[in-house]
Each structure stands twice: as C-alpha cells, then as structure tokens.
Chain A
Amino acid sequence: MQADEMIPRSHVSAMSSSSAMPSSSAVPMADSAPATRKVTGRLALWKVMPLACAIALLTCLASLLWGAGQVGPMQALKALMGQGSEEARFVVYELRAPRTLIGIVVGMMLACGGALMQVVARNPLAEPGLLGVSAGASFAVAVALLLGIEAAGMHVIVAQSGALLGCLFVMSTVRVRGARQDPVRLVLAGAALSSLLVALTSLVLLIDQRAADEIRFWVVGSLAGRSLSALYHCLPSLLLAVVLTLWLARPLAALVLGEQVASGLGHRPERVRQITILVVALLVGAATALAGPVAFVGLAVPYVARALCGADIRRTLWLCLPLGVTMLLTADVISRLVVPPSELPLGVLTTLLGAPVLIAVVRARRLPTL
C-alpha cells in the first residue's frame, strides 16, 4: 500500500520540477536554482545581443510612431514610408526623429556611465543619477545660466565639470571606512549630496526669475524640445569617452579581480580609476546637458545586463548600449502617452521603472559583488 503511494508521489514531484524548469531557464536571473543551472547561470553575449538590439530598434520605431500630439501611429507610419500629410511628416522627421536620436544617445551614455561607475565604486548601487552626479551637472548648468553664460556649447562643458565634481565627492565617500563593506552607505552619501544640490538649484531659481524658465528646462529630465544642435556639441566629448572606454575595458575588467591582481597584470589601478571617473563625468555630464537629470537608467540597465551575461565589464558595456536605448525610449514613449496632450517628465518614468530594481538589489539576501 505504501509502496503504491510512493510511486505516484515521486512521479508528481518529477512532473512539477520539469514543468518548473522552462520558466526558470527563460528568465535567467540571479535567483535561478542551482539545480537547473548547468554550467553557468548566464547567457552568451552573442546570443543576447541580437535580441537586445532588435528590441531597441522596436522601441526606436515606437518612439517615431507614438506621440502626445494629433499624429497617430498609422499616420506616422505613412509619413515614414514617404507618404502622408505634410503635418505628419513634419512631426515625424522634425520632432520625433531628433527626439529619438537624442534619446538613443542619452540612454547609451547613462547606462554605460552607470556600469563604469559601479565597477570603480565596486558597488552595484553606484548610479550617477542617485549619487548626485546628474544633480551636480544640472546645478552647474543652473549657475552658469544665472551668471549669464549663454553659448550653447558651453552647457556641455559646464555640465561635465559639475558632473566631475559630484563624481569626485561621491567617490571620496567610498574611501570612508566601512563604506566598502556596506554598499548602501554610498547611496546615502549620494542621496545627501543629491538633495543638497537640488536644493541649491531651486535657490538659484528663486534668485533670478529671468533665468528660472531656462533653468527649469535643465532641472527636469525630459527629451521634449531638445534640439539636435545640442547633440552636435556633445559629439567631441562623446568620441573621447568612447576611445577612453575602449582603452579602459581590459584594465577595468582586471581591476574587478582585486587591486593587487590588476597591478600584477601590469595595470595601474589608481590611474585606471581616475580616467574612469573622468569618462563617467563626460558621459553623465553630456547626458544631463541633453536631457536634464535622469535617474535610475544607470542602475537598472547594468543590473539587467549583468544578470543576463555575467559581471565582466566588457560584456556589460556592450549590452548596456541596446538596453539603455530600450529603457530610455520606453520611458519616453510612455511619458508622452499617459496624460496627452501634455507629457510627464522623463525622470518620473525612469524612476517608476528603475526604483523596483533598486529595492530588489537592496533586499537581495546577498548584495551581488563587483
């Protein structure tokens, strides 16, 4: 009798475990059970990358098709094909296309900036938007506007300088005793800096009503009404950042293995770290000059990239490109559609998408180590 019962029971358990397998392998997050993990818990980059790029392209298309205005997706599609009304073509080519292009660049810059900062800080929570780097950039721009610096190209440099100062401040707190053991401390220090800078920025707003309108433009993260010329001003520093990142990738990956290991492999940890901070400032500063402070992209995107392909910074950076575009444009498209004909600020949407990731990371039993 007992033996009879045993057989179906084990059979059932085998059934349930086999039915659980596909769902856990389809979502290869960090929590996949050790039993289902064959060799590694991650996917090969060449398998993930095409899919990620395809999804990024779809969000680009969506960004061209949907908007807050009168031109609906069908009209926009016709306009893309070279048909449709004059108005639709104007909206698609003159408004949505530049906006999409800026969104692509900003998404990539923020995601890569976040990934780089996390490696340098050895902290998965190091996110430029949360830690006051973006706030530093927008505060610097606000001060520049108050002082009457009008030249469009200056904004980028000013924002990058502000980002660099914010970056240096936050990174210096990493060196404070205990901060390395407790990644949440870094976020607290960053949040303090961030609120301070936001408060100072609002003070600047009060001082000068004339500059206030222009400053508000920078204080709220948004892709609306940003011109392509701003993008051109970012290109030189973007190019520099790309070159430096390609040069940095190898030593940075070695740095993750430990300071002395990297030195033993012939790298200079201190210099690598300094240049990385410079690159983060270039990227986040330029992104802030383009779209204002946008938080959580630099946190959520690298987190997902690592979960998919492992912690190696070289893979993370590649994957950050399409995933950054996807997250930023998705947030932007939703921001246009929620309360038409007006728009939600982009930062609100990225926070809605990104904050759950932050909570997930903090609540994880064991913080993923970098």
Chain B
Amino acid sequence: MDATFASIIAAAAPLVYAAVGEAITERAGIVNLSLDGSILLSAMTGFAVAFTTGRVGLGFAAAAGVSALVALLVAWSGISLRLNQVAVGFVLTLLAAAVASYQGEGFVHQPGPSVTPRPIPVLADIPVVGRALFGQNLSVYGSLLLVAAAGWFLARSRPGLSLRAVGERPEVAHARGINVNRYRYLAALVGGALVGVGGAAFSLDQKLGWSDGHTAGFGWIALAIVIFGGWQPLRVALGCYLFGALQVVALRLQSRIPGLAQILPSIPFPLMIFALLLVNSAGLRRLLARSHRVSRWLLPEAPAALGRNFVP
C-alpha cells in the first residue's frame, strides 16, 4: 500500500508541475493553450541537454527556459499585438511539437541520465505516508512543495491577491494602481517555466528518455485538469493525483485487460466534461444557491477576464 501511494505521487509529479503552472497563468487572465507542444518540446530539450552535458539540473533549467519562451510568445502576442491568445497558442502547440520531433531525432531511444532518488532518512519510514512524501527524489519533492507554495501564494499573499484581481477585473486592478500587463507577463513566464519543469520531469524521471510524441496528450490532459480543479492549486493537484492513480492502476491491470494503456488518455476528458456539465447545470446551481460558501467551493468559475486582452 505504501508503495502504491508512493508511485501515484511520483507518477503525477510532471502533470502537477504543468497543471499548477497553467493554473497560475490562467488566474492572471492569460490562456496558454500551447501546453501539449510545450511539454513535448521541454521534455526533449531537458533530455537532450542532460544527455549532452551529463547534468540533470541543467536539463531541467533548459526545459524551463524553452517553455517559458513559448509562454512569453503567447503573452506578447496577446498583450502587445492584441491577437487571439487561443489562436497563437494553438499554432504554437503544433509548432513546438514539430520542433521537438525535428530537433530530438538524434536522441530517440538513447539511454541517458535521470534524477537520483533521495529518500529522507527516518521520515521515509513513517507508515503509510512516509514513502510517498519522503521517499522520493528532488523532482517529486519539488512538485509537492509547489502545490503548497502556489496554494498559499494565490490564496493568502498580497501579490497573489493582485494577480487574481488582474485575471478577474483588470480594469479595477488597473484603477488601483496595479500594472496589469506586467503581472500577466510574469504569470505567463512563471507558469510556462513550470510547464517546462513538468516536461523535464517526464523525460528525466517518470518516462525516461525521448521518442517521437513522448508525452503526447499530457498537455491537453493538464489543461483539462486545470478546469476540473477550478483553477485552485490544491484541487488541481488532486486532479493530477487522481489521474496518477488511474495510470498506476491501469499499468497493473494491463496484463489482464489488453489495450487499457491506449484507452487511458481519454479517461480524464469524459470526467472533465461531466464535471463541467455538473458545474453548469441549472438544477445544481439552484440547489446550492442557498449556501454561497458551499456553492463557491463546489462550483468554481473561470477567471472572469480569461483570454481577454487588456488595453490600459
């Protein structure tokens, strides 16, 4: 049981980076649709750099950089050129995937370096949760810390409040002296870098190495989980762990049910669509209208200014 928990937490780590990163970006009102391509590109870059230099840390840094660059392009085209963020994001999805498969050709199926396990003595021996939380490596510890930090930042910190204001009511935020577009650029960069870390966490930790379409589909899954998780880091992470659990279970059942691995990627989507239908159903809204607190928790809304460019 301990081992199962530990493998779920580890399997979900890349997705946690990507989905929490995207949640931060979207909270500021920028939608970076390029995730599926960004993750592929950063997984390839991370592996290629680590393979060439022999240093895993450098691979993570390069992956974060390249993915932040893609996010910057989305933000810039929206903020400065006032283009449709969805259009630019979609083009970048395909372009980043194509670049990954072109530049990654020499690294296909090469054995390479990976993140070393670093269990924390004593703590890792705590029953049930010990191995899951303290028997991992730096990449997985980072994902756990990120969830806590992002949750605190958005809900409790002053800049987090400003960031949310920028995503909900940019006009009001602007009137209160907040530099809306600076916040948006920063949120896109930070979120993009986290997506890149997620890509590297695939190729250097969870799904070692590089092949064409190595992480295909995970970007769309991350985007779906952001919605499913209501743009809140803790719930987004919960969605990722749910998917991680599905992955681990599918892996164990694969010998008995052939084809399960191929069908797995489609599972989050019916779930997400169901969640969205539930959220938008008039009946449930009426039922919950009496208690604002419960309904706000159960039925989160998208940031009001999501994808809308702001002109000061």
Asked if A pairs with B, the answer is no
Q: Which residues of A contact B (CB under 8 A)?
A: none
